[in-house]
Amino acid sequence: MPHSYVSCYVHYVFSTKYRQKTITPEIKERLWAYMGGIARENNMTALAVGGTADHVHILLALPSTMSIAKAIQLIKGGSSKWISDTFPSHRPFVWQEGYGAFSISISRLDDTIAYIHGQEAHHQVKTFEEEFLAFL
């Protein structure tokens, strides 16, 4: 085969440090858009970004040359720097060290996108801890 074809969709979940509720309404929508821009600048595609005051879900399509770890390093590093630089009242902004990364099949993309966009409603009935344990 003369070409490589890759279909790699990863659903990432990660929290603010100590699960502090530091993603305020003031920055939330701009943060989701900024994370999508980081993905685009690094040849990834952000299919959905969402979350609540203390955590983020992002569904990325990764290129064949990008590792799961490198993708999240770029997203988390770039976004925490941007928040600290753009919103002085949020300094220093820090993500937790770890993350969850879950592969998603093409047949589940629409469901995963809907799930990410429905985070605010979802977390009125289930905590972040309960949600993450269910993923595991």
pLDDT at position 4, please?
Answer: 80
pLDDT in tens, 85-95: 999 888 889 99
Residues of the chain with pLDDT under 50: none
pLDDT at position 1, please?
Answer: 61
Is residue 124 helix, strand or coil? Answer: coil
pLDDT at position 132, please?
Answer: 66
pLDDT at position 91, please?
Answer: 82
- CA–CA distance, 47 with 126 (Å, rounded to integer): 24
